[in-house]
Amino acid sequence: MKAQTRNRQPGVAPARAAAFDILLRVELESSYASELLHSATYEQLSPADHALATELVLGVLRWRSLLDSQVAAASSQPLAELDLEVAIALRLGLYQLNWLTRVPARAAIYESVELVKRARKRSAARFVNAVLRKLAKTAFPEKDLPEETDASVENIAHAFAHPQWLVERWAREYGTVTARGICGYDQRIPTTAIRLRHPDAEKELKSEGIELKPGRLLVSAREVERGDVTKTRAFRAGLCVIQDEASQLVAALASGGTRVLDCCAAPGGKTLAMADRSPNASITAVELHPHRARLLRKLLRAAGANASQPSIFVLTADARDLPFDGSFDRVLTDVPCSGTGTLARHPEIKWRLKPEDLIDLQERQLAILRSAMAPVAPGGRLIYSTCSLEKEENEDVAERALSSESTFRLLDCRALLDGLRVEEELIWNDPGSLIRGPYLRTLPGIHPCDGFFAAILEKV
C-alpha cells in the first residue's frame, strides 16, 4: 500500500501534517525519513515548518519504543491492535508533550486528534484525545537514563529506545559502557560535518552566515555550528560537500593510484573525495540502480567534478558481476549494509532490522567483495568498508574472502593512519582508538562520527 501525501486540512499545521505523512510512509513503504524530508514534496515548507517537521519525524523514530511503552500504560487498548494512523498520531502527540516544551499541551493534543480525523479514522478521535489528556497529566522524564556503572542491557535498551537484541550484541562485542555510549549517541541530533573542497570555501560560508568549527578527525573537515549549508552559494557551487568525518576518513584511506574503481558508488561522497585527492586518476564509479546512477552523475556535475576531474565514468552494473579485468590499482567496495553505525541519522533502521537480516546481508557483501578482487592489479589495494557495527558484515566478510583467495593479504590500517598523521591530514589525537586489530573501526559515542569499518587488502 502506498501512502499518499494529503492536502492540509483546517486545524492541522503544515509541519505536523508533513510529519504524520512521512512517518506513515516510513512504516508502509520502508522509506527513509531523511530522503522524504529533503524530497520535492516538502521543499515548499517554510524553514520553520521544515525544522519542526524534521524534529517531529526524527524524534518519534528515535524514541519510538519508549513512546509506545508510555502510550500502552495509558491506553485501554493494546498498542498492537491500534490502526497505524492512530499509533502515529499518539506518538506525535506524546513526543510533543514530553520533548517539545515550547509546544502547548492543548495544541499537541488538538492537532493529534485532527490528524486521525484527516486520516479518515474519525472514530478514534475521542480515544486519542482521552489517551493524550491522560498522558499530559503524567510526569514522564525526557531521559531517565541508567548510570554507566550499573546499567543492564535491558535498562539501556529501554531508556535509550533501542531493540534489546541490538544492545545485547554491542555489549557482547564492545562492552556495556561502549554499548551505552553508542545508544546515547544515536539519540542525539548528529553534527553536520562538511568537507572543504576549495581554499575559499570556509571564507565563503562564513560570509553567508554559516558558523563553523574545526573537524575533529581530519584537517579538511568542519563541523557546522549554526546555519543551513545547503542554502549557500558555496555549497551550490561545489566548494564544500556534506560528508560525515568517518566517511571522509575511509575515502582518504582508499585514495591513491591512477586507475580507481568504486564498486558501489552512489550517492557519491567517497567517489568525489577520491577524485579530489587524486585529480589525475581515472575513476570508474559503478552503481547497480539506474536512478541512483543518475543521482550520482548529478552530484558530480553539481560539484564541478566534470571540469576538475574529467576522467570519472559512471557505469550502471551489478558489483557482484563486474565487467573488468585486473587493471585497477585502487578498488573501493563500500557495500550495502545494515547501517547500524548511522542510527543517529537513520533511526528507522533499528525498528526494521532483524537478526536474520545480517546473514542475508553477509552473503551479498561477500559476493561483492569476491567480485571486486578480480579487477585489482598486482600490488594494488582493495578497501572493503561498511557503516555497520556488526561483526558478520565486517571482519567475518573480510576473513571469509581472504580464506578463499591466496593472492591477497590483509594490511594493518594503523600504518596508513600513521601516514595520514605524518601528512597532517589526520588530526585525531588518539589514532590507536580508531583501530581494532588490523581494521579501521569508528564507534558512535566514542568517536565524533558515524560507525564505520574498513579492511585494506593488497594483491601480492
pLDDT per position as a tens digit, 255-264? 998 999 999 9
pLDDT at 293: 92
For the chain, give the mean pLDDT. 92
Query: What percentage of residues in the chain have a pLDDT greater than 90?
Result: 84
Q: With 60 as the cut, is the pLDDT of residue 149 above it?
A: no
pLDDT at 350: 98
Residue with grid cell 493529534, as numbered in its chain: 112
Give residue-wise pLDDT tens across range 186-208: 999 999 999 999 999 999 999 99
Q: With 60 as the cut, is the pLDDT of residue 134 above it?
A: yes
Q: With 60 as the cut, is the pLDDT of residue 301 above it?
A: yes
Is it true that the peptide bond before 267 is cis, omega within 30 degrees of 0? yes
pLDDT at 7: 45
Alpha helix stretches (DSSP H) within 142-244: 153-159, 164-174, 176-186, 201-207, 233-236
Query: Cβ distance 394 to 337 under 8 Å?
Result: no
Q: With 60 as the cut, is the pLDDT of residue 142 above it?
A: no
Rounded CA-CA distance 264/287 in Å is 5
pLDDT at 384: 98
What average pLDDT does range 61-83 have in this prediction?
Answer: 94
Length of the chain: 460
Instruction: Name the grid cell of 291.
Output: 536512478
Q: With 80 as the cut, is the pLDDT of residue 41 above it?
A: yes
pLDDT at 3: 38
Q: With 90 as the cut, is the pLDDT of residue 147 above it?
A: no
pLDDT at 374: 95
Residue 241 pLDDT grade (very low, low, confident, very high; cuts 50, 70, 90): very high
Query: What percentage of residues in the chain have a pLDDT greater than 70?
Result: 93
Residue 295 pLDDT grade (very low, low, confident, very high; cuts 50, 70, 90): confident
Question: At 302, phi and psi to the nearest 5?
Answer: -60, -30
Rounded CA-CA distance 138/308 in Å is 59
What average pLDDT does range 104-123 have in this prediction?
Answer: 95
pTM of the model: 0.92
Q: With 80 as the cut, is the pLDDT of residue 244 above it?
A: yes
Rounded CA-CA distance 406/273 in Å is 31
Give residue-wise pLDDT tens across range 160-194: 999 999 999 999 999 999 999 999 999 999 999 99
Residue 309 pLDDT grade (very low, low, confident, very high; cuts 50, 70, 90): low
pLDDT at 6: 43
pLDDT at 26: 97
pLDDT at 162: 97
| End-to-end CA gap in the chain | 52
E strand or H helix that includes residue 50: helix 47-62
Query: Cβ distance 351 to 33 under 8 Å?
Result: no
pLDDT at 5: 41
pLDDT at 305: 58
- Map 231-266 to HEC letters: HCHHHHCCCEEECCHHHHHHHHHHCCCCEEEECCCC
